[in-house]
Structure 1
Amino acid sequence: MITVAETAEYFRRARKLMSEEECAGLIAYLAAHPMAGDLIEGTGGLRKLRWARDGRGKSGGVRVIYFFYNEGLPLYLLTLYGKNQRENLSAAERNALAGLVNLLIRSAQK
């Protein structure tokens, strides 16, 4: 199992969109399946996982943006948003998160 770290941004959004049980289920799933999400092109390794919420149907799910480098680093939950809010990250958001990915990788290599 992989260690999962929640950023403040992720934590704030997750508590608004999901119950504590749903959050715990998501974390347990990603700890066991860190490569589950689809790679987001041009971000240096960010992944997007489509996660269904209990009893909300297909359109009631969330999109979880996270970074997993290898087993030597935690899996970082960076942000999430409701499927009904938007489908993808903007170019500016992808670029900002790609910068964070580079920082995380550099810090891991020290």
Structure 2
Amino acid sequence: MQADVETPDYLRDAKAAGIGGDERWSIVDHVAANPRAGDLIVGSGGARKIRFAAPGRGKSGGYRVVTYYGEDDLPVFLLNVFKKGDRVNLSKAEINALREELSHLAREYRQGVMRYVKGR
């Protein structure tokens, strides 16, 4: 199992999509157990899109969760989630913005952890 980080954008999106507690934890558990699950988003710098079934509706009526797992010493970052009925894919502009964000994410996470460890 890999540690997960639910980003503020992911939490906001999950709330907007109506993803409740048990359902949210089910997604988190699946991603932690399968950090490399999902399809790579071409041009994103390593993000993946995972399909999840919505209760009673199957995968076609489910959610798309965007994750990033860089290396074994990093958690899996849950970045965004959207209902399949609302959209199927990220736009080219969103993929470009995601690539820019991911280029800094691992470094900034490690720096934050080191500041915390050194501060103790």
What TM-score do the two structures reach when normalised by structure 1? 0.92
Q: Which residue of structure 2 lines up, in the alignment, with residue 4 of structure 1?
A: 4
Partner of 1:54: 55
SS in 2 for 1:64: strand
Give the aligned residue type for 1:46. A
Displacement of 1:106 after TM fit? 3.5
Q: Sequence identity, in percent? A: 43
- How far apart are residue 74 of structure 1 and its match? 1.0
Task: Could you tell me which runs of 5 or more consecutive residues in structure 1 were left unpaired when the two chains were aligned.
Answer: none
| Contact 2:52/2:65 (8 A) holds in 1 | yes
* Alignment correspondent of 1:27: 28
> What is the Cα-based RMSD across aligned positions, in Å?
1.5
Comparing 68-77 with 50-59, greater Cα deviation is found at 50-59
1:104 positional shift:
1.5
Alpha-carbon separation, structure 1, partners of 2:87 and 2:73? 33
CA deviations over 1:9-54 (Å, ceiling 9, x no partner): 1101112321211100010011010011111111110000011111
Q: Distance in 2 between matches of 1:108 and 1:9?
A: 16
Provide structure 2 residue ranges, at least 5 long, that are not aligned to the other structure.
Answer: 112-120
Range moving further from structure 2, 15-24 or 32-41: 15-24
Partner of 2:118: none
| Alignment partner, residue 73 of structure 1 | 74
Structure 2 length as normaliser, TM-score? 0.85
Which residue pairs with 2:64 in the alignment? 63
Give the C-alpha shift of residue 5 in structure 1. 0.4
Q: Which residue matches 2:93?
A: 92
The one-letter amino acid of 1:13's match is D
Where 2:27 maps in the other structure, the secondary structure is helix
Whole-Å separation in 1 of the counterparts to 2:15 and 2:3: 20
What secondary structure is seen at the aligned counterpart in 2 of 1:51?
Answer: strand
Distance in 1 separating the partners of 2:109 and 2:15: 29
Aligned residues: 110
